[in-house]
Amino acid sequence: MQIKGYGLTNTGNHRQQNEDAFLVDNALGLYIVCDGMGGHEAGEVAAQTALQSAAGYLEENAEEIKQARQSVNPVPKMASLVRDAIQYSCRSVYGWRGRQKSDRGLGTTLTLLLSYGRHAVIGHVGDSRLYLLRKGAIHQLTHDHTLVQDIIDRGGLTPETARNHPLAHVLSRAIGVMESVQVDTLNLEILPGDKFLLCTDGISAFLSNAEMADVLKQHPGQRANRHLIEAALTNQSTDNLTAVIIDVFAEGQELAEEEERATQVLLKIDTLQSMYLFKDLSLPEIVRFVDRSEVVYTKRGQRLCAEGDVDDSLYIILEGRLRVIAGDIVVADLGEGSHVGEMAWLSGTPRSASVVVTEDGRLLRIRGKDFAALVYAEPVTGVHLLRELACELARRLASSNQIVKHVC
C-alpha cells in the first residue's frame, strides 16, 4: 500500500505573518499541520518548534515505525509513540515560551497522521482538523479543542448557534501553554482510495464539509490544495491557510488483495453505523470501538454462551443469526446489527440466558474490560453508547413482558 502527501500554505489576505507550519514526509509516512498563536513571530516559532520536535522524535524512532509496517494488526505502541512525540513537542514549546517572558499567549495546535503499512495513527491537539474522504463521503476525524466545542459537547450550544460565536477560536487545549497536554489519538485501518485532508482553521472555518468534499473529489494532489485555499479566500478567510492532502493507493496484484480487506473493514463499519446502538456515533467513535474489538466466526449449532456462564464479552452480529434461550423458552431471535452479552457486563452477574448460533456468520466481540476502558477513555462516546444500550434494554424488557403475559 502506498501513501503520498502534498502540502501548501498561504499567509492569506489579512495577516502580516504566516503562523502556520506543515510537514510532508512521504518516506516516514508522516504528515503534520500546526497553527501557531502569540503574534510578533512567537506563533511562527511555536508552530515550527512544535512541528520540528514532534517530527524529530518520530524520526529517531524510524526503525520501530518501519517494523510496525510489517504488522497486519494495528500496533498499540504506535499510538503511544505519537502521544510521546506530541508531549515532547509540548515540552519544547513550553521551554521556549519560558525563555520569552513577554509572549504570554504563545502556543500552537498540532495535528498529525503517521502511516505504517495498512494502518495510520492520528495525534491531535487544538482546532486544526483532519478529514477523511472515503467512498465519496467526508468525515471529520478530529474533535476541536475549543471552549465553544466544549460547550456544544455539554449541550449548551448547537453547532449552528456556535458558528459565529466570538470565542469560537479560543482553544481549550494547545501545545506549549502548559508543560504537558492531553493528546487525542485514533488508530485507523487505511484503505486504497482513501484521501485525507489535514488543515488549519483558515480553511476549515470558511468552507463547509460539502465544499471541501467537492474540491477533494474534483482535483488531484497539489491542485486540490490550491483550490481549497482559493475557495476559502473567496469565502473571506481572515486567517493563514494551510492544507496537506494525503492519497492512499495500491496498484496491480496488491490492489486486488487490498480490495478484499477493504470489503471486510467497510462491512464492520457499515454494520455498526446501521445499528441503533451506534446511530449517534461519528466515524471516529465507531473506529475506536472497532479498534478494541475482534471478529469471531460462528457456525450453526455452536453455543456462544450458556446461562450461568461467567464471562463479560459483548457481541455484535455482523452476519448470521443467534437465538437467546432462557430455561427452555426462546426469548429472542436476533439478526445482523443486534447485540448480545451486555447484561453480564453491566450487572457483573453470570449470563442470564444461553445463546446459540442458528445461522453461520461473524460477530464482533469486545471484552468487557475493553468496553469499560473505551467508555472511560472517551467519555462522550461512552455516554452515547451507554444511553443507546439503556434504550435497547428498555425495548427488550418491554418485549419480554409481552412474552411473560403470553406464557402466563
Give contact residues for ligand CMP (rule: CB under 6 A): 305, 324, 331-332, 340-344, 351-353, 355, 396, 400
Q: Cα angle at 62 between 49 and 283, to 5 degrees?
A: 80
Report the nearest approach of ligand CMP to the CB of residue 305 (Å).
Answer: 6
Report the nearest approach of ligand CMP to the CB of residue 380 (Å).
Answer: 24
Cell numbers standing for residue 231: 475557495
Residue with Cβ nearer ligand CMP (228 or 353): 353
Residue with Cβ nearer ligand CMP (321 or 351): 351
Report the nearest approach of ligand CMP to the CB of residue 319 (Å).
Answer: 18
Report the nearest approach of ligand CMP to the CB of residue 407 (Å).
Answer: 12
3-class DSSP state for residue 275?
A: coil
Report the nearest approach of ligand CMP to the CB of residue 17 (Å).
Answer: 58
Cell numbers standing for residue 60: 529517531
Report the nearest approach of ligand CMP to the CB of residue 351 (Å).
Answer: 4
Q: Residue 51 phi/psi, 5° resolution?
A: -65, -50
Give the bridge partners for 4, in sequence order. 247
Pairwise CA distance, residues 58 & 400, whole Å: 55
Report the nearest approach of ligand CMP to the CB of residue 329 (Å).
Answer: 9
Q: Residue 293 phi/psi, 5° resolution?
A: -120, 170
Classify burial at 33, counting beta carbons within 10 Å of its beta carbon; exposed 0-12, middle 13-18, buried 19 or more: buried
Pairwise CA distance, residues 187 & 355, whole Å: 32
In eight-state DSSP terms, residue 136 is T
Q: How far is CA 300 from CA 296, 322, 359, in A?
A: 13, 9, 5
Residue with Cβ nearer ligand CMP (239 or 342): 342
User: Which residue, 271, 277, 316, 273, is CA-closest to 395?
Assistant: 277
Cell numbers standing for residue 255: 490492489
Tell how far CA 225 is from the center of its chain.
23
For the four alpha carbons of 42, 47, 52 and 57, in that order, the dihedral sign comes to positive
Pairwise CA distance, residues 245 & 222, whole Å: 8
Residue with Cβ nearer ligand CMP (53 or 354): 354
Report the nearest approach of ligand CMP to the CB of residue 269 (Å).
Answer: 22
Residue with Cβ nearer ligand CMP (319 or 392): 392
Residue with Cβ nearer ligand CMP (133 or 340): 340
Residue with Cβ nearer ligand CMP (152 or 331): 331
Residue with Cβ nearer ligand CMP (129 or 351): 351
